[in-house]
Structure 1
């Protein structure tokens, strides 16, 4: 579960943002702060994963607070939510290492998209594995390969069936097992699975045992 701290000087706005976050699967509101001092105390006490940070606070600029938050919790991620539109402000925020910048006013859908991107792109980098794939890095920097054409002979409809199968399966599958469940050939199933792996949507696990190369098994990449 991703713990979120909301920092906004407006009590009602903070309440609305908290309501949005609570409706997001995989997210929980760790706390709310209305000043920079409250925010620093909350970060040290609650250890949130992500902060939704307003720039206009009564006791400090959100940009200056960003640096203090970094010192207090180096692993903390920050998503700025602000009415500030000055390009210098945006540049300073980006240089401070934020994960996104969302301008007020915005809709629940706007925030949902940013939180989903954070969940799918940034959180996997905090996982236990010691190395990142290019697909991991691509997701963080917004480089998408989803428009890459499907392999010759593959269809969007079958790709969706493969995705649904992997999503609902609680364990990993080999190409042979996927083919049996889908009613396709092993070669066909493997082409879809490898395509999804290259897109970063599927995790490949190697199972060693017996003679020869390890078996490639595929699991839907879980976020967060």
Structure 2
């Protein structure tokens, strides 16, 4: 199991990392630090294999933290996930030994690819005494992930694809009943798919107060062009 420390000051992004890491086999999220100082304390007390690092943080930014990690010779690999997209920051992160750099906003496929490449690299470098060129090439040349992530129990990938296509056709907010009627399955079943999409931050749920009658809960699609579901329905 690969132990992971996430260093991210935005709680929503940290939660997204937690969800994504849980979808990739072989990785365990051990701790989350919301600043560089806390991350250094955790690194002093615990052993981690991989650090998911943001750049923009108060007091000590991610590059300063990465420099201190190298100065203190902590045996931990780093994948940077940041909105910082200027070449100087990217070059500095790579020169300080970051094994990958993901620019926000990002899709799950890119995160999944980074984690799978890291897992492959770690297996080859850590578990083999003698490394062949062909093995080494696998740690350098990027490969597409071979397996899709699994859906929660009770969900079907074909139905999920149908639900998503129906949602993409809706303008504005919608109810569970409206999608159930479009797809042709029960409200109870539809609710499971909508809650799963909400967990991926593709939908949000709000209490909608109409002019008459009791308030109802309505969903709103946050990103109709997202590719996050490809990993689940391929």
User: What TM-score do you get using the length of structure 1 for normalisation?
Assistant: 0.61
SS of match in other structure, 1:44: helix
Quote the Cα distance in structure 2 between the aligned partners of 1:74 and 1:48: 9
Equivalent position of 1:105 in the other structure: 105
1:127-154 per-residue CA deviation (whole Å, 9 max, x = no partner) reads 2x3221112221222177x9xxxxxxxx
Q: CA deviation at 1:45?
A: 1.8
CA contact (8 A) 1:30 1:46 kept: no
2:139 matched to which residue of 1? Answer: 140
Q: Which residue of 2 aligns with 1:59?
A: 59
Tell me how far 1:46 sits from its aligned partner.
2.3
Structure 1 residue ranges without an equivalent (≥5): 147-224
Query: What residue is the counterpart of 2:24 in the other structure?
Result: 24
CA distance in 2 between counterparts of 1:137 and 1:58 reads 38
CA contact (8 A) 2:6 2:33 kept: yes
Tell me the distance in 2 between the aligned counterparts of 1:142 and 1:89.
Answer: 23
**Count of residues in Structure 1 that have an aligned counterpart in Structure 2:** 144
CA RMSD of aligned residues (A): 1.8
SS in 1 for 2:12: helix
Write out per-residue CA displacement over residues 45-91 of structure 1, whole angstroms, 9 at most, x where no aligned residue: 22110000000111112111101122344321000000001001111
Query: Any conservation in 2 of the 1:43–1:72 contact (CA below 8 Å)?
Result: no
Deviations 1:5-62 (A, max 9, x none): 0000111211111111011110000110010011111122221100000001111121
The residue aligned with 2:4 is 4
**How far apart are the structure 2 equivalents of 1:107 and 1:131?**
35
**Structure 2 equivalent of residue 119 of structure 1:** 119
TM-score (norm 2): 0.58
Asked if structure 2 preserves the Cα contact closer than 8 Å seen for 1:43 and 1:73, the reply is no
What's the counterpart of residue 92 of structure 1? 92
Residues 1-224 of structure 1: matches in 2 within 5 Å? 1-127=1-127, 129-142=128-141
Q: Retained in 2: the 8 A contact 1:44–1:73?
A: no
**CA 1:37–1:143 in structure 2 vs 1: closer, same or farther (change >3 Å)?**
closer
